[in-house]
Amino acid sequence: MANNIPSALPTSHKYFYFRTVTTLATDDGDVSDGSTIEDATSVILPVSAFKGGQPTSDTAITLYFDPVKRFDDRGANSFKNSDTVVVNTDTNKAKEVLKAILDAAAGKNFNSKGMIVVADDVTETYLEGVASCGAITINIDYA
C-alpha cells in the first residue's frame, strides 16, 4: 500500500549532519551555558545553507551556514547572523577537509543519499580528514 502522505522534505535536497557528543544519552539538544546562543549537540543543515568555511587553528575549521533562526534588524548597520559548526581535523588538513565537504555536497565520492554525515562523534563516522565534531552554534540573536 502506498503512503499517501506527502514528504515534508524534497528528495532532491541534500543535508549535512553533525553531532558533537559521544553518547546518545547526552544528545539532548542543548549545552546550556547561559549565553545568548544555543550550543546544540546535533544538527542537520541544508547543503544550500552552506556559506563557506575557514581554518581557525591547525586542527579546526569553522563552517558557516545561513541561520536556522534568522535575524536581520534592517537597520543602518544591519547584518544577518550565521550559524557555525566547528569541525576538528587532523593537523594542517583544512584544505583537504574543505575539499571533502564540497565533493560530498557535489555528489563526488558520495552515494546519492540525502544526508551527508560530516562528523558524528557517537558513531565515529567522519568525512575524510575529519577527526571529530566541535561546537555547534545556532545563533538566536546578534551581539
Counting residues of the chain whose pLDDT is more than 70, the rounded percentage is 69
Model confidence at 78: pLDDT above 70:
no
Confidence at residue 13, expressed as pLDDT on a 0 to 100 scale: 83
Closest CA to 62 of 34, 47, 83, 31: 83
pLDDT mean over 73-80:
60
Q: For residues 36 and 25, which has the higher predicted lDDT (pLDDT)?
A: 25
pLDDT mean over 104-129:
85
Residue 139 φ/ψ, nearest 5 degrees: -70, 130
Model confidence at 1: pLDDT above 80:
no
Confidence at residue 81, expressed as pLDDT on a 0 to 100 scale: 74
Confidence at residue 133, expressed as pLDDT on a 0 to 100 scale: 96
Confidence at residue 125, expressed as pLDDT on a 0 to 100 scale: 95
d(C-alpha 115, C-alpha 100), whole Å? 15
| Mean per-residue pLDDT over the chain, rounded | 81
